[in-house]
Amino acid sequence: MASSTSLRLVLSSEVRLIDLIHQSAEKVAQLAGFDEDEALNIGLAVREGAINAIVHGNRSDPNLEVNITLRASDEGFSAHITDEGEGFDPDAAPDPTEEDNLLATSGRGMLLMRAFVDDIVYSRREARGMEVTMTKRRTTG
Amino acid sequence: MASSTSLRLVLSSEVRLIDLIHQSAEKVAQLAGFDEDEALNIGLAVREGAINAIVHGNRSDPNLEVNITLRASDEGFSAHITDEGEGFDPDAAPDPTEEDNLLATSGRGMLLMRAFVDDIVYSRREARGMEVTMTKRRTTG
Amino acid sequence: MKVGVRNIGHVAVVDLAGKITIGEGDVVLREKVNELFDGGQQHVLLNLEKVSYMDSAGIGELVACYKRAKEKGGTVKLLNPSGKVFDLLQLTKLEEVFETYRDEKEALVSF
Amino acid sequence: MKVGVRNIGHVAVVDLAGKITIGEGDVVLREKVNELFDGGQQHVLLNLEKVSYMDSAGIGELVACYKRAKEKGGTVKLLNPSGKVFDLLQLTKLEEVFETYRDEKEALVSF
Ligand SMILES: Nc1ncnc2c1ncn2[C@@H]1O[C@H](COP(=O)(O)OP(=O)(O)O)[C@@H](O)[C@H]1O
Ligand SMILES: Nc1ncnc2c1ncn2[C@@H]1O[C@H](COP(=O)(O)OP(=O)(O)O)[C@@H](O)[C@H]1O
């Protein structure tokens, strides 16, 4: 394996491109040495991050771009997702597993992301929008 | 359909990313209104262009980037592929279907590209490398 | 996603196959379940055996089905969530919300 | 790509399934056919019935197999190329190079 394989996707904000993003993340996770099942989960985390960037960040405006950089290295997998939206405060999002929220029909995306990667860092971009970085380390041994 | 859906892929020059490129092109061709079989062929044309950019252009150097922009619009499908290689003269490539060349083990990529899209335009990039644009029109009616 | 309906007694068993994800599977699920409720059906058993995975939109749609059933005085229950789908129901604590069965007959008599 | 070999009389029938493409199927094909030639086999029938498509690298590998057979005094023939694979053989004019059969028995007796 080369020390680092990278694939960057720049797309118009359309939900119908989401399966491609998922497949791409899954493949890059496999190249990083994760097995099929782990790679599907990692793909799912990236999928959720990308849906948020497209739907919440860019409000599905096809003129706005979402930027996704996927990287496989000896350490593992990382994904970096940016949008051009208003940004948000991830700590303010309600916990979907609390009794009162169980019947909400949305609000579970970040929960899935957290479940399937090791670290997630959110920050506001200098220009406009959010920036999310997820990493999943390869536990060798 | 939005008037134009675009997906740009920027990748390290590695052949093992080629299936993802093929799948992406196939999907974008479907979004442009082509049926499954046509979309597979269009994907094959993009695949060949991308292989050339990775292998001949960037000589599989993972530090060099290949840039692929896929677009679905009301008119049809287009792909724009750039590499950072030496460039080449497409008219100088021998015809692989000539008697003397039939047993060559390579040299059929551009033939496949020509077979599956309507137009291909090659040009040398100002900086470095080649630039290939393919278009496939949707024949409505 | 593929969807089929078997009417067994007063229960509609909805056999789902594929992924319940945003913009595709979730829409198929919503339309089918709405159609059943609109047609007067009150008891729906979603057979998840052949569902490979769901995303947050798909999970949200499951909950939406559950709520719509309640509104109509009906019920939605789950049959045989597979490995990944089962994990997601646990993770989201929706296993506390949905009655879930491993055996179709047992599920059918529970309505 | 998946590959299996059936030895029928003095012919090795190589059943290929999947795509013969760069870095994957082409390598599998090359290794299997080399193995056969190195083991003294001279007559190889490549069964393409379940090959969905090939790219230029896969097509090049078919030609490489053909040439290697020649070098060893053997032959490589093709069985049942499917729609897309058949089109590619036509497009590249390789149908002029390869003896191609629709019927396995007929192919076997031709060696
Ligand atoms: N990239 C983003 N830009 C703006 N808001 C976001 C972004 N990502 C998440 N959010 C906000 O956080 C909330 C919770 O997100 P999430 O847990 O993924 O669930 P859901 O997407 O189903 O609402 C969203 O409803 C949205 O308000
Ligand atoms: N992007 C490129 N950069 C440099 N050379 C190229 C590029 N694309 C094609 N070529 C040249 O054109 C030749 C013919 O290409 P092609 O028809 O695709 O067949 P093949 O890739 O099998 O050689 C290549 O062998 C290479 O020399």
Polymer length in residues for chain A: 141
Closest ligand 2 atom to Cα of D56: 22
d(CA A66, CA A11): 5
d(CA B134, CA D99): 34
Model pLDDT, residue B3: 62
Residues in B closer than 8 angstroms to A12, CB to CB, are 2, 4-7
| Nearest chain A residue to B26, by CA | A20
Residues in D closer than 8 angstroms to B47, CB to CB, are 21, 55
Using 50, 70 and 90 to split pLDDT, how confident is the model at B127? Answer: confident
Q: Of B69, B91, B99, B95, which is closest to residue B82 (Cα–Cα)?
A: B69
d(CA D104, CA B15): 35
What parts of chain C have a pLDDT lower than 70?
Answer: none
Task: Note the pTM of the prediction, 2 decimals.
Answer: 0.92
Q: Of D88, D78, D84, which is closest to residue D57 (Cα–Cα)?
A: D88
> Which amino acid residue places its CA nearest to atom 19 of ligand 1?
A107
Question: In this model, does residue A2 exceed pLDDT 70?
Answer: no
Model pLDDT, residue C63: 98
Torsion of CA B134, B140, C2, C3, to 10 degrees: 160
Report pLDDT digits (tens) over C90-102. 999 999 999 999 9
Amino acid at D16: L
Interface contact flag, A11 B10, Cβ < 8 Å: no
Report pLDDT digits (tens) over D40-76. 999 999 999 999 999 999 999 999 999 999 999 999 9
d(CA D15, CA D49): 8
Identify any residues that bridge with C6 across adjacent strands, giving them in sequence order. Answer: C13
Residue D38 makes CB contacts below 8 A (sequence gap 6+) with none
| Nearest chain C residue to A115, by CA | C91
DSSP C98: S
Instruction: Find the DSSP H helices in chain A.
Output: 18-31, 36-51, 109-116
Mutate to test the interface with A, among C1, C26, C33, C55 (most CBs of A within 10 A): C55
State the ipTM, two decimals.
0.91
d(CA A41, CA A29): 10
| Nearest chain B residue to A9, by CA | B9
Question: In this model, does residue B61 exceed pLDDT 70?
Answer: yes
Average pLDDT over residues B114-140: 94
Distance linking the first and last C-alpha atoms of chain A: 18
Torsion of CA A10, A11, A16, A19, to 10 degrees: 0
Mutation to probe ligand 1, out of A44, A56, A98 (largest number of atoms < 8 A from CB): A56
Q: Of C35, C83, C13, C92, which is closest to residue C58 (Cα–Cα)?
A: C92
State chain B's mean pLDDT as an integer.
95
d(CA B77, CA C58): 31
Asked if A140 has any chain C CB less than 8 Å from its own CB, the reply is: no
* Ligand nearest to the Cα of B94, by number: 2
Amino acid at B129: G
Strand, coil or helix: C56: helix
Torsional class of D58: left (φ above 0), alpha (ψ -120 to 50), beta (otherwise):
alpha
